């Protein structure tokens, strides 16, 4: 029997709410489609991505190991090493690199004495620090500025201020025969006395024989002649500077002796010629410090020497240009 229309409508009215409830439940359990704009659950959004091994974040940056601080003893050793490195740089005339090295040494150990001493020399006015009184010294074969600083200044590490005192830009290029200025007064010549043997008392000097009244007394002329002969031996040995100084001293002691004055003037002219030759050779080899020192010496002996003055200025100008060229590289 077919149901009546009224009964069918009642059944539909009961089924409709149930269908809506099923549809809502299905939507809640179905995950959102990609690109739908619906955000994932908070727990999924905040969970860190793991690496393939599952041990940690995949893109985590490596953490740098902390740099250990130097102990006080290690800092002192490191600063001293840097200061000695600066010594080598200054010996080779590389003041710019030495400044950087000394800054590192001071930062490592502010109490480092050698770094402070070298820095003071870099900034020092050498003429003011060492004074205007000086004497001339002829460099010997094995001399270095460090050795001369130890001998005359009492500290081998003061070589750099001594180099600046002599306008020497590269302390390692000290040449035998070069004449430099040493601050202070010239030390008296040493008189060597042979040491006494162990257990043997030093022998007393022999007694001088008593002068006999019958013998003639030595005359000044005899003393001058003997001295002239000894000075001539110096000239023949090539020591023109020592010969000139000795002739000048003799002529001053015996102003009436014409021979002493004549030899003094001849020795002076020979010394000036030699110094000029040495200066010219040094200039041609671009050993400008040596050339300038030689022309300085000429001007000390002969202040009115125009050639020496002009050549000295030319050497200084070339030295300045070379320094600027090297600095521009």
pLDDT digits (tens, 9 = 90+) for 33-76: 544 444 444 444 444 444 444 454 545 555 555 546 778 888 89
Percentage of the chain beyond pLDDT 70 is: 68
∠ CA 192-198-204 to the nearest 5 degrees?
55
Q: Which residues contact 52 (CB under 8 A, 6 or more apart)?
A: 58
To the nearest 10°, report the CA torsion of 306, 312, 314, 315. 160
283-312, pLDDT tens digit by residue?
998 898 888 988 888 988 888 899 999 999
Which residue is it, tokens 């023949």?
236
Q: Answer yes or no: is pLDDT of 133 > 50.
A: yes
Residue for token digits 């070069």?
Answer: 178
pLDDT of residue 199: 46
Residues with Cβ within 8 Å of residue 154, at least 6 apart in sequence:
none
Please give the Cα distance from 53 to 206 (Å, whole number): 103
The C-alpha atoms of residue 310 and residue 249 are separated, in whole angstroms, by 30
CA distance 122 to 105: 15
Whether the predicted pLDDT of 167 surpasses 70: yes
Q: What is the CATH number of domain 125-187?
A: 3.10.350.10
User: In whole angstroms, what is the distance from residue 179 CA to residue 140 CA?
Assistant: 10
Q: What pLDDT score does 20 carry? A: 52
Cα atoms found within 13 Å of the Cα of residue 264, Cβ hemisphere only: 18
- Domain positions in the chain: 71-123, 125-187, 222-328
pTM exceeds cut of 0.75: no
Q: If you average pLDDT over every residue of the chain, what do you get?
A: 77
- CATH class name, domain 222-328: mainly alpha
Residue 15 has pLDDT above 50, yes or no: yes
Give the pLDDT confidence score for residue 322 in this predicted structure: 87
User: Residue written as tokens 């002796």?
Assistant: 257
User: Which pLDDT band, with edges at 50, 70 and 90, does 242 fall under?
Assistant: confident
* Residue 209: pLDDT over 50: no
Q: What is the DSSP string of 16-43?
A: HHHHHHHHHHHHHHSPPPTTS-PPPPHH
The dihedral region occupied by 286, where left means phi > 0, alpha psi between -120 and 50, and beta the remainder, is left
Task: Catalogue the long-range contacts made by 75-78 (C-beta closer than 8 Å, 24 or more residues apart).
Answer: 75/108, 75/109, 76/109, 76/111, 76/112, 78/108, 78/109
Distance (Å, rounded) from C-alpha 299 to C-alpha 289? 15
């Amino acid at each position: 029997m077919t149901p009546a229309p009224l009964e069918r409508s009642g059944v539909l009215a009961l089924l409709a709410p149930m269908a809506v409830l099923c549809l809502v439940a299905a939507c809640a359990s179905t995950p959102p489609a990609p690109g739908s704009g619906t955000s994932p659950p908070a727990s999924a959004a905040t969970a860190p991505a793991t690496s393939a091994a599952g041990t940690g974040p995949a893109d985590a940056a490596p953490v740098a190991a902390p740099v250990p601080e130097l102990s006080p003893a290690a800092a002192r050793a490191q600063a001293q090493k840097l200061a000695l490195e600066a010594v080598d740089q200054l010996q080779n005339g590389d003041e710019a690199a030495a400044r950087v090295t000394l800054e590192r040494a001071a930062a490592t150990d502010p109490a480092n004495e050698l770094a402070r001493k070298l820095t003071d020399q870099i900034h020092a006015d050498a003429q003011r620090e060492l004074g205007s009184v000086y004497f001339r010294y002829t460099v010997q074969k094995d001399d270095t500025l460090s050795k001369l600083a130890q001998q005359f200044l009492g500290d081998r590490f003061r070589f750099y201020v001594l180099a600046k005192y002599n306008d020497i830009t590269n302390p390692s290029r000290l040449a035998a025969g070069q004449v430099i200025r040493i601050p202070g007064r010239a030390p008296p010549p040493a008189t060597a006395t042979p040491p006494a043997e162990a257990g043997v008392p030093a022998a007393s000097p022999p007694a001088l024989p008593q002068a006999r009244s019958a013998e003639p007394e030595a005359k000044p002329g005899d003393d001058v002649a003997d001295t002239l002969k000894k000075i001539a031996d110096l000239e023949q040995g090539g020591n023109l500077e020592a010969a000139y100084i000795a002739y000048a001293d003799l002529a001053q002691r015996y102003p009436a002796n014409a021979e002493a004055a004549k030899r003094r003037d001849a020795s002076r002219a020979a010394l000036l010629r030699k110094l000029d030759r040495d200066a010219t050779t040094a200039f041609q080899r671009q050993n400008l410090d040596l050339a300038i020192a030689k022309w300085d010496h000429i001007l000390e002996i002969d202040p009115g020497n125009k050639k020496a003055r002009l050549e000295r200025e030319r050497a200084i100008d070339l030295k300045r240009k070379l320094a600027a060229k090297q600095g521009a590289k």
